[in-house]
Amino acid sequence: MKEKTAVDYIHKQLLLAFGDELKCLRGLFVIAKEVEEKQLKDAWNNGVLATTFEKKFEEYYSEKYETDKED
């Protein structure tokens, strides 16, 4: 069985909770899935570089992506 991505998981959970009411947001999930796929592809392709530079994942992530965390 294949694993679900974060976007797939939240989309399925919201469909279960809200059903047809979620149809108006379908376009957002399509875009989110495309963005997520690009991020995973980039991570895969840059994996060798990460091991070469010995950068910790947390450091890479905070440099690469914005977070909604309040400091």
- pTM score over 0.85: no
Name the residue range of residue 46's domain: 6-64
Is the torsion defined by CA of 61, 64, 67, 71 positive or negative? positive
Does 1 map to a domain? Answer: no
Q: Are 26 and 18 in contact (CB under 8 A)?
A: no
Q: Which residues make Cβ contacts (< 8 Å) with residue 33, sequence separation at least 6?
A: 5, 7, 8
36 found inside a domain:
yes
* pLDDT tens-digit readout, 46-69: 776 666 666 677 777 677 776 555
Q: Are the beta carbons of 36 and 11 closer than 8 angstroms?
A: no
More confident residue, 46 or 18: 18
Q: Could you give the number of structural domains in the chain?
A: 1
Residue 32 has pLDDT above 80, yes or no: yes
Residue 69, in any domain of the structure: no
Let me know if residue 33 belongs to a domain: yes
Q: Residue 30: is its pLDDT beyond 50?
A: yes
14 vs 20: CA distance, rounded Å: 10
pLDDT of residue 16: 94
